Amino acid sequence: MSDLADRLRRFSYKPGWTITLGEENGRPAIVVVARVPDVHDPQRSTIVRGGEILPRNVEALDDEQFIALVRRAKDVVERHEADEWFMVDGEPVNDPHAPKESG
């Protein structure tokens, strides 16, 4: 996995965001952690985390495929934040913290 860590060191995103190797649901993953403004009190910050589980053939991915994998991991966190902040009349349009409906 050290080769993967070396590949990941090449990536950066916004200030306060990190992209590293870690675990997601107990499996090896690319993990994105971000310090962002708190939607309920923008003067404070909060930490959000998301990731993309590594495919079994991750070592064989070419640069383009690996970039796509890292981008998906970043987009998980970015989408969560976008959904928290996008509102109509002060209410989230797609609240990522709302209970999931069963059906």
HSE-up (13 A, CA, CB side) for residue 79: 10
How many angstroms separate the CA atoms of 102 and 65, rounded? Answer: 34
12: Cβ–Cβ under 8 A, 6 or more apart, which residues? 19
Quote the pTM value: 0.85
Q: Confidence class of residue 100 from pLDDT cuts 50, 70 and 90?
A: confident
Give the per-residue pLDDT at 98.
84
Average pLDDT, the chain: 92
Give the per-residue pLDDT at 103.
59
Give the per-residue pLDDT at 15.
96
